[in-house]
Amino acid sequence: MDDDSPETIAAGVKLGLAHPPSYALDTLWVRLVSFLPLGGVAFQVNVGSALLAAFTAVLLARNILMVLDHFLQTPPAQHPGGKTWFKVACAASGALLLAFSHTYWEKALGAKGGIYLWQALLSQLIFYFFLQFELEVIGKAIKSRWLYLVLLLFGLGLTNHWQTQIIFLPLLLIMLIRRPFTPQKWLLGSVFFVIGTSVLLYLPLRSNLHPGWNLGEPDNLSRFLDSFFRRYVNDRETSLIGLFFQVLHGQKTWSDLSQLAHRILDIQGTALGPHLISDLKAPALLLALLGLASPWTASGKKAFLALLLPAAFLLLLFLTYFWVPTNIPYHWYIDNFLLSLNIAGAFLAALGLYRLGSLLPPRLAFLPLPMAFLLLFGLADFNFPLQNQEHQTLRYDYGVNLLKSSPRNSVFFAEADEDYFPAYYLRAVEHKRLDIEMIPAFTLFETWGVAQVARLHPDLGLTAPTRDFPDKFARLISSLSEIAAKNRDRTPCTYSYFNGAFHRYYFPYHPSELVLKSGVLYELASPVSTHAPRLPASGLRLRNLDDPSNSHESLRGILHVYQALGLL
């Protein structure tokens, strides 16, 4: 169900390129787990996300235990707080708190969640190597191997969701300051970093082979950089910092900057507290505050700084960058972006639980543990109905309905993620309805998109790749009009209910256009359309529409289509 999971699965299984920045690391991971001897392809990839989540939770527990053992001032040996079993119980509680938090659990159940879980896993691996590095500093036996591994993982993180992985730059800087490098070691460290980032080579190498799904087509340096930095969505993801420089150059006004700052605070600023309360709950947050006051050793203060700096850097980016497009349900996007805070919160809550037990008299030191058990049980019990996807078939069935609604040998202008991602999955992975020629309408804004459509569908007669246009809108309008004009009398031309590029840039220039309805699609009226059978609403697959899992924000668009059809 999760977000772009159909695209994530199909891009990985077929070794295509998902939407920018294309997530090279996760794409290769999906390809690997698709060989698991478990169920169907979608199930195999979802299990891959669950594995990432489980391993990260275990590693979090290990890191908490290392901090409790080596970086906190412990109570006297006779106090239960100094016992190994008490520390293990606190570390396990922190890991389970993360595992049962709403957003983390949700990411563990879907293919797209793997992109965010890779960030979580790499963050814990980086912190683990940092703690090992600090232990060697304590023992006066500093070696460079841990820093090399951090450089490797930092580079690897940049090949996935680099916009959030970059928050670990402060931690890397701490290690560099703590371990002066000779020129030879700088060179070796650079080699490890380059090895990590080399996964990005998948993008241009595979793009040059023209796979069936090649969004951004980063087959040269210019398009690679456009894809990596997501320049195709600059108009929807406006940076406050970028706008500031535009103001300095006279391209924007201070009023524009002020409006964007207020917009960020209205969306991101007001969502921060609800996210933490919803995901971790108030008792865990109180424990996290107690964890902030933990008595760190002199050497442990570096670990404390390394624990908090990424979270602080994340919040800085969160409040200076406008990540959230205005035309989507934004709370869900924000939850994904703030997943790192769940990790920091669970870590601090475990430290708070340990400190609470250490402050109590020895006879009462065990009392926080049953309290933690009740909190974890309540969190799991509360979130399980929200996470239960036993009957979650809405996105898959909508993809099936798209294909059922399409006349044979038709041209389908896909208008939204909800359209082209499920259709892409069903056609590429399950090999259904290969007679349909699917055109993701938004790609016709770009020169690479027009060339790609012409290459994949030569029978459409698209000549736009050979012409120059004053802007991307002219390119899109011309391409849509040419495809429709040349093919509507040859084969049915359909488009979806979503208000995408075809709706916005075809019909204003063809106001007298007549349309017909077929299932969840519209069809341009033409001589061939009168002969093509159209799907009645009774022929749609509509399983489990009333299931609670359909309330997720990412499914809202599909539900709106069914509402427009009078089915809800």
Burial of 556 (C-beta count, 10 Å sphere; 0-12/13-18/19+): middle
Conformational region of residue 83, where left means phi above 0, alpha means psi within -120 to 50, and beta covers everything else: beta
Query: How many other C-beta atoms lie within 10 A of the C-beta of residue 248?
Result: 9
Which sign, positive or negative, has the C-alpha torsion 145, 151, 154, 158?
A: negative
CA distance 50 to 272: 26
Cα separation values, 175 from 90, 143, 183, Å: 27, 11, 16
Nearest to 281 by CA among 367, 333, 349: 349
Q: Low-confidence residues of the chain, pLDDT below 50?
A: none
Query: How many other C-beta atoms lie within 10 A of the C-beta of residue 353?
Result: 28
What is the structure's pLDDT at 324? 57
Backbone angles phi, psi at 159, to 5 degrees: -90, 0
- pLDDT tens-digit readout, 393-418: 999 999 999 999 999 999 999 999 99
User: Chain centroid to CA 66: how far?
Assistant: 30
The total number of residues written for the chain in this structure: 568
Structure tokens at 13: 């299984």
What is the structure's pLDDT at 330? 63
* Structure-derived torsion over alpha carbons of residues 187, 189, 190, 192, reported in degrees to the nearest 10: 130
Nearest to 362 by CA among 78, 90, 89: 78
Q: Is the peptide bond before 548 cis (omega within 30 degrees of 0)?
A: no
What is the structure's pLDDT at 257? 86
What is the structure's pLDDT at 225? 93
What is the structure's pLDDT at 135? 86
Structure tokens at 11: 């891009």
CA distance 435 to 432: 9
What is the structure's pLDDT at 222? 93
Helix ranges, 159-249 (H):
162-165, 169-178, 183-197, 202-207, 221-228, 240-248
Q: At 454, which amino acid appears?
A: A
What is the structure's pLDDT at 326? 54
Which residues, listed in sequence order, are joined to residue 411 by a DSSP beta bridge? 437, 493
Q: What is the DSSP string of 439-503?
A: EEGGGGGSHHHHHHHHHH-GGG---GGGS--SSHHHHHHHHHHHHHHHHTTTS-EEEESS-SHHH
CA distance 503 to 10: 27
Decide: pTM greater than 0.85.
yes
Structure tokens at 74: 């412990």
